Structure 1
Amino acid sequence: MTALKLPEPIAAYFSADQQNPDALVRCFTAQATVKDEGQTHTGLDAIQAWKAAASTQYAYTTEPFALDQDNGHHIVSSRVAGNFPGSPVNLRYRFRLERGLIASLEITA
């Protein structure tokens, strides 16, 4: 399989995803928002807390397999597998980038 060529901040997000909430938060702008599981997390502290909670609750891996663009957004499809109900699942990550960082992220099934 050919590796995806993801924009730098998105590649950094997936590299840091589950293992390092501190590195992950550096991928975002100061006022970034993340929407996941019906909740919105705004700002670096909230995003770091969201990711730390998810990382302690579940062990999982993410494998991005497709990249599309829509109206200024980068949409990454990724297979997520782990010890959570319904695993594995394909999720869509809708990123909006700003000045080389992630300004918004929405994760949906």
Structure 2
Amino acid sequence: MTSSTLPAPVAAYFAAEHNPEALSRCFTPHAVMKDDGHLHEGREAIKSFMAEASAKYGATSVPITCDREEGVEVVRAKVSGNFPGSPIDLSYRFRLERGLIASLEITA
């Protein structure tokens, strides 16, 4: 899958995965992100979480598929990094709003 087949905000998210500042700009100011059982609300909280996760796990995500389900962009991606069970396929559920990510839920 190429980034050109992903909606622009989703492609920007994956392109910025190791740059927390750029990644945070992919989200609306009041966005919510749920990952690993934790909820992060707002750009600053998402940026802090992603900076910590990037430093700890060094994970790289490669999108495999992208489908639209009930107004949500669902991306399956292979994620590799410094964590038990690597690599793993994860599901990213993006709800977009005015060209930005309003919510993101990441699950196995």
Query: Which residue in the other structure is 1:52 paired with?
Result: 51
TM-score (norm 2): 0.96
Question: How many Å separate the matches in 2 of 1:93 and 1:13?
Answer: 11
Question: How many Å separate the matches in 1 of 2:91 and 2:48?
Answer: 21
Q: Give aligned pairs, total.
A: 107
Q: Cα distance, 1:82 vs. partner?
A: 1.2
Q: Secondary structure at the match of 1:54?
A: helix
Q: Secondary structure at the match of 1:85?
A: coil
Letter aligned with residue 30 of structure 2: Q
Query: Which residue in the other structure is 2:25 paired with?
Result: 26
Question: How many Å separate the matches in 2 of 1:63 and 1:83?
Answer: 15
Q: Within 5 Å, give how 1:21-100 maps onto structure 2.
A: 21-100=20-99
Question: How many Å separate the matches in 2 of 1:31 and 1:48?
Answer: 12
Q: Cα distance, 1:3 vs. partner?
A: 2.3
Q: Cα distance, 1:22 vs. partner?
A: 0.1
Query: Which residue in the other structure is 1:9 paired with?
Result: 9
Letter aligned with residue 3 of structure 1: T
The percent identity for this pair of structures is 55
TM-score (norm 1): 0.95
Q: Secondary structure at the match of 2:6?
A: coil
CA deviation vs aligned residue, 1:9-59 (integer Å, no higher than 9, x gap): 000000001x20000000000000000000100001100011011011011
The Cα RMSD (Å) is: 0.9
* Structure 1 residue ranges, 4+ long, deviating more than 3 angstroms after superposition: none
Query: Which residue in the other structure is 2:102 paired with?
Result: 103
Letter aligned with residue 82 of structure 2: N
Q: Secondary structure at the match of 1:40?
A: strand
